[in-house]
Amino acid sequence: MPSASPGAAAPDPRCATHPRPHPRPHPAPCDRPATRPSPRASAAFALDASVLVTLLAASSAPTPLYPRYQEQWDLSALTVTVVFSAYALALLLALLTTGALSDHLGRRPVLVTALAAETLAMLLLATADGPDALIAARILQGVATGTATSAAGAALLDLTDPTRPRRSALANTIAPVAGMAAGVLLSTLLTRFAPAPTVTVYLLLAAVFTGQAVAVARAPETADRRHGAWRSLRPHLAVPPSARRTLLRAGPAVAAVWALGGFHSSLGPALVRAIAPHTAPAASGLPLFTLTATAALTTLALRRTAPRTTLEVGCATVVPAAALTLYATHGAGLPALCGGAALAGAAFGAVTQGGLRLTLAALPGHGRTGTLAAYQVLCYLSMSLPAVAAGAATVHHGLTAVAHAHATSTAVLAALSLPLLHRTTKETKDHDHGH
């Protein structure tokens, strides 16, 4: 799932001010006419965006392979969800601790180190001989991905084009979900046509990460080094009161859609086999591909829509998404499951983008880092913890019953969010009218 800052408005680098020990007596940056970036800066932008896409492609690549792992090593549903959640929780830990590290050490050193670790994680996944090795590799992958996505996302903001100020924020938003869709598609195709897909897909990704690390090492640095690297590793979750209320009211909706994403990322392939046992193994990743591709398209389509409207539309979409998933377990099969995944993807893209934009808009001008960290904690805990609980429940109650409970609970949670969002909208209008 995406780890950048979806929907966040990119700051105008021409107007940003950074304290320096000896300011130079040149005209204010905001007084300069906007100029297009150099070809080298444009190439660096494309490279950083490609890093985000590849990182998230690698994150979703194991999903279509879970059925093979289960058959090969006789894994339970609980073990599969632990493999998935180990990655998500490690990524969350990395985001909280290394999220600002590139502000102090520079974007390139952090990115090169993280990409080297990502390459090692791919090699460990390619040579994994059991669930323990798989979990260890996913933990390393989560740490590397969290570190690299923070640095690459910040580099994209550094390279904002003054003539296209929204481009950096849009790239930070679209690249992660597009990457996840590409990873599922790549893994699915290799599962169908390539020999030893549990090795081939990771070796291919390792080669891409190696090439990207070399290219990043030769790219221009976009951030100055400064002191405080060790101190920046301390997690910071402080949310200003004005944004706290908005986050609490949008939180249930965000939790619902990320729980849907976590379910499809971990138990989705098993559900495909349960409702369509005669379907080709390569189709096990089809619902997750549908979800992530739809999420990317929805994020792109709604990028200029008011965040409250986006949130409310996303919440309303969760209910039919859950209903189609339930319908799939009662004989409708794979088409209904993919239809539910498409609606879940639309809800995911709308709610994730709208929730973050609404929360950041409530900030009084400070507290951005702590608020983003709190939002990421909510997202990744909502993705991983319900998935582990669902995996544990599957052992005792069966996958179909768990799918029923999960779909119903997310639908109820999203439905309960609508009055909270409506109340937030009404209070805002009353506040604006009073002023």
Rounded Cα distance, 184 and 57, in Å: 7
Q: Where in the chain is the domain with CATH 1.20.1250.20?
A: 1-6+38-233, 236-435
Q: How confident is the model at residue 395, as a pLDDT?
A: 86
Determine contact, residues 88/1, Cβ cutoff 8 Å: yes
User: Bigger pLDDT: 419 or 172?
Assistant: 419
Q: What pLDDT sits at residue 233?
A: 80
pLDDT at 412 over 90: yes
Element holding 377 (H helix, E strand): helix 368-397
Alpha-carbon gap, residue 319 to 315, rounded angstroms: 8
Its CATH architecture, for the domain 236-435, is Up-down Bundle (1.20)
- Asked if 417 and 350 touch (Cβ cutoff 8 Å), the reply is no
Q: What angle do CA 108, 140, 197 make, to 5 degrees?
A: 105
pLDDT for the residue numbered 291:
94
pLDDT at 380: 87
| pLDDT above 90 (res 290) | yes
Residue-wise DSSP of 349-376: HHHHHHHHHHHHHT--SS-HHHHHHHHH
Please give the CATH topology (third level) of the domain spanning 1-6+38-233. Answer: Growth Hormone; Chain: A; (1.20.1250)
Question: Could you tell me what percent of the chain has a pLDDT over 90?
Answer: 45
> Are 312 and 257 in contact, with CB atoms under 8 Å apart?
no
Confidence label for 8 from pLDDT (cuts 50, 70 and 90): very low
Residue 170 banded pLDDT, cuts 50, 70, 90: confident
Q: Assess whether pLDDT exceeds 90 at residue 55.
A: yes
pLDDT tens-place string over residues 228-281: 888 878 877 777 888 888 888 889 999 999 999 999 988 999 899 889 888 877
Q: Is 50 exceeded by the pLDDT of residue 24?
A: no
> 74-103 in b/e burial notation, b at 16+ Cβ within 10 A?
ebebbbbbbbbbbbbbbbbbbbbbbbbbbb
**Lowest-pLDDT range of 1-5, 107-111, 179-183, 300-304:** 1-5
Q: Which of 97, 94, 187 is nearest to 138 (CA)?
A: 94
Highest mean pLDDT among 125-129, 148-152, 283-287: 125-129
Greater confidence (133 vs 95) lies with 133
Tell me what pLDDT residue 424 has: 58
* Tally of CB atoms within 10 A around 221: 13
Q: What is the pLDDT of residues 207-236, one digit of tens each?
A: 999 999 999 999 988 888 888 888 878 877
| 72-124 tens-digit pLDDT | 999 888 999 999 999 999 999 998 888 888 888 888 999 999 999 999 999 99
